[in-house]
């Protein structure tokens, strides 16, 4: 068998075919078409330009828009309460808990953390929190959670509605909408984790570190 080597670079051979910019865009792993066109022009390869959008890029490169700051914030305590559950933890606490629920006031930044054995206890601790707020003389107007089953149920909804509290849920897979509670839980867990690593404490003391 005899192999004949071309006398000109192989890339010149592509110029003879009538090919579109979209085809080269796909061949070069969906790079920016402007750069693809420059690359081809430098090598003398003529292509037919097309204004058709690349469906692969539309699905593969789309990004969620950036969340902006809220135009206004509550100006009184109790106007908006953020709530979120954290857990399960690796080990049960000394008191038998594996979760904690955090209630945070948007205006004062006050937070109340309560420990639970399971998520099903959320209604009981919500009742405790509402009672404490009432005793302190604060009227809760709005309650925001992530819409998980521990919050989105008849028992919790009935309790909030009976107190005249407006219920809001963040969209699925959109923690930014309940960012205050999400960030608060992260702050609590990071502080507790730092204490554990620094002091070498047993994991069963996680509730004491969080508290």
CA 13 to chain centre: 50
- Does the pLDDT value for residue 6 go beyond 60? no
pLDDT of residue 68: 59
pLDDT of residue 63: 66
Cβ atoms of 166 and 145 within 8 Å: the answer is no
Of residues 10 and 114, the one with the higher pLDDT is: 114
Q: What is the largest CA-CA distance in the chain?
A: 96
What percentage of residues in the chain have a pLDDT greater than 70? 82
159's CB contacts (< 8 A; 6+ apart) are 123, 126, 127, 130
> What's the CA dihedral at 151, 155, 160, 162 to 10 degrees?
170
Domains for the chain: give ranges and CATH numbers. Answer: 21-60 (no CATH), 80-210 (3.30.420.10)
């Amino acid at each position: 068998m005899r192999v004949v080597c071309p006398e000109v670079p192989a890339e010149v051979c592509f110029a003879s075919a009538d090919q579109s910019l979209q085809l080269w865009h796909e061949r070069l792993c969906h790079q920016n078409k402007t750069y693809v066109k420059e690359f081809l022009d430098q090598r003398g390869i003529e292509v037919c330009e097309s204004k058709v959008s690349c469906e692969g890029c539309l699905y593969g490169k789309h990004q969620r828009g950036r969340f902006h700051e809220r135009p206004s914030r509550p100006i009184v305590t109790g106007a908006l309460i953020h709530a979120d559950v954290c857990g399960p933890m690796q080990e049960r606490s000394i008191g038998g808990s594996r979760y904690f629920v955090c209630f945070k006031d948007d205006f004062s930044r006050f937070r109340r953390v309560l420990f639970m054995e399971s998520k099903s206890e959320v209604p009981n601790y919500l009742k405790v929190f509402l009672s404490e707020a009432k005793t302190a003389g604060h009227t809760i107007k709005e309650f925001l959670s992530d819409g998980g089953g521990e919050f989105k149920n008849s028992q919790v909804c009935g309790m909030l509605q009976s107190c005249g509290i407006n219920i809001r849920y963040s969209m699925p897979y959109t923690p930014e909408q309940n960012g205050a509670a999400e960030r608060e839980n992260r702050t609590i867990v990071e502080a507790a984790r730092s204490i554990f690593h620094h002091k070498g404490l047993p994991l069963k003391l996680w509730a004491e570190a969080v508290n």
